[in-house]
Structure 1
Amino acid sequence: MATTNETTVPTAPQQVVASYPSYRQVEQAVDYLSDQHFPVERTMIVGRGMELVERVTGRLTSLRAAGLSAGPGAVVGALIGWLFGWFGWLDPLIASLLLALYGAVFGAIIGALIGLVGHAVTGGRRDFSSVPGFRARSHDLLVDTEVAERASTLLRSEGAPGVGEAPVPR
């Protein structure tokens, strides 16, 4: 007997019942179907026309590169220091919180140095920081063929989100 989880792709034949320009709108449509007691486990949201979007967050100077790397370095150093103190791996025994503090300082210094070296290695080719992501141009709502007509009727009914502008029936 097959178990169902969130990552399982449905094997039943499906058809597109509506297309939406934004994820928010298709999300509202699925929520509306759920409110109408439609079996939403028989739906799937598919993004079409995927594109990489990189939001530039600012100029990356040597000082900023060092600062951005010092934070994660401090966290790793604090964790390592705390573990050394917790398991008593250093003699004489030093309090784990004090070792975590020393580890954070040491980790921040090492992280900053790694950030500086990493920035210097690029040679000015990438003097900005950014956050990459993906977005779709449109979103299709697929429903199992057996219940597609009911979903389509519900989405065209009065009170459904986006009636008149979205969904775009197929």
Structure 2
Amino acid sequence: MTTAFSQAAFSRAPRMPQLPTMPTGWPIGSYDTYEEAQRAVDHLADENFPVHDVTIVGVEPLLVERVSARLTWGKVLGSGAMSGAWFGLFVGLLLSLFTPGAGLLPIAIGLVSGVAFGMAFAAAGYAATRGRRDFVSHSQLVARRYDVLCQPRNAENGRELLAKFNMGSHATL
């Protein structure tokens, strides 16, 4: 739901590009973590700075894959059984709701067949890897540094605000 206030606030902001484009603007700050860059932009917003002129850019992106666990047949089959059980339970509940006088039989059939199919599909997927990926991991896109850019019309003011903010935040650390 949009209000007149939110429409007015967004109408002043420049349109976001529809296709991927290179960022524009002058650097007004550079930070080691995204959290620090976000905190700097939040400070600019608190100071009533026109943040619609600001962009946070991750420089030198890296894809980091963090391995979280070893994958075994037991874990694969257990995970397949659990996901299949949830799906089978859902299908069984739907069948029991729309079949008058069916009782618990559709739920039990759905649960058992869901477990069986879940385990079968999980086993087939794991067997297809032929032991080349016996681990679970989570991927994350990170950057070496995060630059805060601002359009030239407000860059100098933004740079001064961030310099004061950075001096104040380092003094409290």
- Bucket of the pairwise TM-score, normalised by the shorter protein: 0.7 to 0.9
- Unpaired runs of 5+ residues, structure 1, are 165-170
Residue 91 (structure 2) aligned to one of 67, 80, 94: 80
Matched, 1:62 2:73: yes
- Unpaired runs of 5+ residues, structure 2, are 1-9
Number of aligned residue pairs: give it.
158
Q: Percent identity?
A: 34
Equivalent residue number for residue 26 of structure 1: 37
Distance change in 2, residues 1:104/1:46 (3 Å):
farther
Distance change in 2, residues 1:49/1:159 (3 Å):
closer
Instruction: State the distance in 1 between where 2:167 and 2:112 align.
Output: 56
CA RMSD between the two structures: 3.2
Q: Which has the higher helix share?
A: 2
Equivalent residue number for residue 148 of structure 2: 141
Instruction: State the distance in 2 between where 1:41 and 1:139 align.
Output: 17
TM-score by structure 2 length? 0.74
Specify the SS of the correspondent of 1:139.
strand
Instruction: State the distance in 1 between where 2:16 and 2:108 align.
Output: 44
Instruction: State the distance in 1 between where 2:107 and 2:55 align.
Output: 47
Equivalent residue number for residue 94 of structure 1: 102
Equivalent residue number for residue 118 of structure 1: 125
TM-score by structure 1 length? 0.75
Specify the SS of the correspondent of 2:102.
coil
Equivalent residue number for residue 59 of structure 2: 48
Show structure 1 runs of 4+ deviating over 6 A: none
